[in-house]
Amino acid sequence: MKLIAPDYYTKFKCIADKCKHSCCIGWVIDVDPDTLEYYHTMQGDLGERLKKGIDESDETAHFILGEGERCPFLNQSGLCDLITELGEESLCQICTDHPRYRNFYSDRTEIGLGLCCEAAGELILKHQEKTTLVILEDDGENEELDVPDESLLTWREELFAIAQDRSRSVAERAAAILDAAEMSIPERSLAEWADIYLELERLEESWTDCLQGLKTTDISDVPVLDTQEWEVAFEQLLVYFLYRQLPFALDDGEYEGRAAFCVLSYRIIHDLCRVHAVLHGRVGLDDLVEIVRQYSAEIEYSDENVEALLDALFEE
C-alpha cells in the first residue's frame, strides 16, 4: 500500500499559539478509545483534569468545551497543555491528524491538508509550482487498483491537467472542467447563490456576514482577480478541491456533480474576494486564505452542506 500526498504536504507545520482561528476552539473533538484508555491511566492533577474535561456519557467520548467553546486543554497562551506536559504522542487521533484528511483507494491512501486551517491555506494557496503528487510511503505490497478507482484516478488526472494548464486563464480552465464533466452551473444571480448558501447550516457569524455581503454588494465594477499571483492561488484551490472532493463520487456516484461543485466553490470564493475588495477597499492573498478557511470549515466539513450544494447544482 502506498501513501500519497501533494508535494507541499511535508512542509506543513501547525503555528499553534500564532493561529488566529485555532482548531481547538469551536469544534467538537472526539477522543478515540485507545487514547481514552491511555488518559484513564493518568494520575495526579492532569489525570483529574482529564477526568473532568472529557464527556464519556455518549457512545463517543469528547472533550467538554469551556468558555468561548475552547478545548479545556488549550491554555491562555494558545498552547495545548497535553502537548506541553506529555508530548505530541499523547494527543488523540483527531488532534494528531488535524488538518490532515485521507481518502482511501484499493492500492493507496491519499493524504492532504484541509484548507480550514490557516497555516495549510498559506502553504497551499501560495505554493507557486504546479502541485504534483508524491509517494510518502510504500510498503512494497503491490495491491491491485480496482476498476472504479482506476477510472476515477484517470479522470482526475485529466481534470488536473486542465486545472494546471497555465496557457489559459483559471476562469477558462474552470469552464473546461465543466465541459469535461458535461455539466453547467445553473444560471443564478450572486444574490440567489448567496441565499442558497445562507440556507445551509453555519458555524461562524463572520461567515453569515460574508454571505450577506455576497448577496447585497454590487461587484460589477470590480475586475476579475487574474494577476499572476491570483491565478496561481486559484489554480491551487481548484486542484485542492479536485484532489479532495472527487473521491467521494466513488461512494455516491456524483462524478459530474462533484466536479461541478469544485468549480462552483472556486467561483463563489473568487466573488467573495471581489466583495471583500468593495467592502474593505482592497483584497490580497491573505484575505483569500481567510475566505477559503471559512468556506472550507463551513462547507467542506459538513456532508449535509456539500450535499445541499450538489442538489442545487442539479436544480434549475
Task: List interacting residues with ligand SF4 (CB under 6 A).
Answer: 14-16, 19, 22-23, 98-99, 117-119
Give CA separation, 182 vs 175, 178, 179, 258, in Å.
Answer: 10, 6, 5, 12
The grid cell for 133 is: 503528487
Do 42 and 174 meet the contact criterion of CB atoms below 8 Å apart? no
Nearer to ligand SF4, 97 or 143 (CB): 97
How far is 139 from 2, CA to CA, in rounded Å?
7
For the CB of residue 232, give the shortest distance to ligand SF4 in the complex, in Å. 22
- DSSP bridge partners of 63: 54
Nearer to ligand SF4, 30 or 118 (CB): 118
For the CB of residue 8, give the shortest distance to ligand SF4 in the complex, in Å. 14
Nearer to ligand SF4, 15 or 135 (CB): 15
Do 6 and 238 meet the contact criterion of CB atoms below 8 Å apart? no
**Residue that is written with C-alpha cell 489525570 in the block:** 47
**Residue that is written with C-alpha cell 485555532 in the block:** 22
How far is 84 from 81, CA to CA, in rounded Å?
5
- DSSP bridge partners of 216: none
For the CB of residue 175, give the shortest distance to ligand SF4 in the complex, in Å. 33
Nearer to ligand SF4, 83 or 86 (CB): 83
Nearer to ligand SF4, 149 or 287 (CB): 287
For strands 54-55 and 133-138, give the pairing: unpaired
Nearer to ligand SF4, 98 or 244 (CB): 98
For the CB of residue 3, give the shortest distance to ligand SF4 in the complex, in Å. 20
Closest CA relative to residue 233, chosen from 130, 100, 119: 130
For the CB of residue 95, give the shortest distance to ligand SF4 in the complex, in Å. 9
For the CB of residue 14, give the shortest distance to ligand SF4 in the complex, in Å. 3
Nearer to ligand SF4, 21 or 49 (CB): 21
Q: CA triplet 276, 229, 218: central angle to 5 degrees?
A: 25
For the CB of residue 119, give the shortest distance to ligand SF4 in the complex, in Å. 4
How far is 133 from 160, CA to CA, in rounded Å?
11
